[in-house]
């Protein structure tokens, strides 16, 4: 852009210079002719006193400047910001979540990511599951620690991911897919048993691109929170294994 401005202003300067040149040339010509005209007019007035008009008209015709034409070349401006950019990733996933003391259960959720650079992305996720029974509940017979509503488990988190080890993955000799491993960690909240718990998550995953816009992902994540549901406040590790599809747009 700067280049273009410079070039344009350069053109403008050249044009001004040129028109000045033209002006100077015409001015000189004009002066010469004017002198001629004055002499001629003087002579005519002195001798006969007529024919002045004719002489003047002829000179005016000669003096008329040819119009200066400025032609701006037609621009085909390239606007990169109007390119289709596909930095968002949106998808759904399902898998198994093991909640400490409560066993493993099916989990499903959605996620949205924004890819900031080739290496980094930020992601928000929301998922839900239903907890099973603790060993205590199973052994004691009838005792219930939580109501059915309180067994609904859900979490959301916001994480930062870093793509590592990108490369092509070959499935037989015929197909090569773009893929890559990523490490991801973040914070969020888990809700079950009537309370929200501050949760830190971390893990890794693999993203395999089927096409430019469709990717398959597998994730292994640990969700860590403190819980005092069973008496003492303890740090709980909850592992999750999921697979899902995402689209880029």
Partner 1 sequence: MQRLKTIMKITIATRCRVLLACVLACNAMAAQAGIGDLFSNETPEVRVADPFLEMHTGPGRGYPVFYVAGEGETIKVLKRRTDWFKVELRRGANISKRGWVPLNQIRDTLDLDGEAIDFGSVTRGDFETRKWEMGFAAGDFDGARTIDGYLAYGVTRNISLRLTGTQLLGNFSDGVMGTVNVVMYPFPEWRVSPYFTIGTGIIHTKPQTTVIQAEDRTDEIVNAGLGANIYLTRRFVMNFEYRRHTVLSSRDDNQEINEWKTGFSVFLGKQ
3-state secondary structure of 63: helix
Alpha carbon distance 146, 164 (integer Å)? 42
Identity of the residue, 43 or 158, whose beta carbon is nearer to partner 1 in the bound complex:
158
- Per the listing, tokens 């001015």 go with 27
**19 vs 235, which CB is nearer to partner 1?**
235
Nearer to partner 1, 20 or 119 (CB): 119
Q: Rounded distance, CA 175 to CA 182, Å?
A: 22
**CB nearer partner 1, residue 32 or residue 249:** 249
Applying CB under 8 A, which residues contact partner 1? 1, 3-4, 73, 75-88, 112, 114-118, 120, 122, 124, 126, 147, 149, 154, 156, 158, 160, 163, 165-168, 176, 178, 180, 187-189, 191, 193-198, 209, 212, 228-229, 233, 248
C-alpha–C-alpha distance, residues 90 and 110, integer Å = 8
CB 33 within 8 A of CB 26: no
Q: Give 25 or 114: the residue with its C-beta nearer to partner 1.
A: 114
How far apart, in whole angstroms, are the C-alpha atoms of residue 188 and residue 223? 9
At closest approach, how far in Å is the CB of 181 from partner 1? 10
Rounded Cα distance between 8 and 62, Å, is 33
The residue (of 26 and 126) whose beta carbon lies closer to partner 1 is 126
CA angle 97, 156, 150 (to 5 degrees): 65
CB of 41 to partner 1, least distance (A): 54
Q: How far apart are CA 136 and CA 114, in angstroms?
A: 43
Minimum Å distance from CB 65 to partner 1? 31
CB of 161 to partner 1, least distance (A): 13
Give the residue from 161, 157, 231 showing the smallest Cα distance to 198: 157
């Amino acid at each position: 852009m700067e280049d273009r401005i410079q070039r344009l202003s350069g053109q403008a300067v050249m044009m001004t210079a040129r028109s000045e040149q033209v002006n100077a040339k015409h001015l000189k010509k004009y002066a010469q002719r004017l002198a001629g005209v004055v002499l001629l007019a003087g002579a005519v007035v002195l001798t006969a006193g007529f024919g002045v008009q004719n002489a003047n008209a002829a000179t005016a015709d000669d003096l008329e400047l040819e119009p200066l034409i400025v032609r701006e070349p037609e621009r085909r401006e390239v606007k990169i910001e109007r390119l289709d950019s596909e930095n968002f990733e949106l998808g759904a996933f399902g898998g198994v979540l093991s909640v400490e003391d409560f066993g493993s259960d099916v989990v499903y959720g959605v996620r949205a990511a924004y890819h900031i650079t080739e290496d980094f992305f930020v992601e928000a996720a929301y998922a839900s599951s239903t907890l099973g029974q603790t060993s205590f509940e199973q052994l004691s017979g009838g005792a219930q620690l939580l109501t059915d509503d309180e067994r609904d488990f859900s979490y959301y988190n916001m994480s930062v991911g870093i793509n590592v080890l990108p490369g092509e993955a070959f499935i037989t000799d015929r197909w090569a897919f773009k893929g890559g491993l990523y490490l991801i960690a973040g914070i969020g909240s888990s809700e079950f048993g009537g309370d929200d718990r501050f949760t830190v998550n971390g893990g890794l995953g693999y993203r395999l691109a089927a096409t430019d816009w469709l990717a398959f992902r597998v994730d292994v994540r640990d969700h860590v929170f403190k819980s005092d549901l069973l008496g003492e406040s303890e740090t709980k590790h909850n592992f999750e294994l999921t697979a899902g599809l995402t689209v880029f747009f």
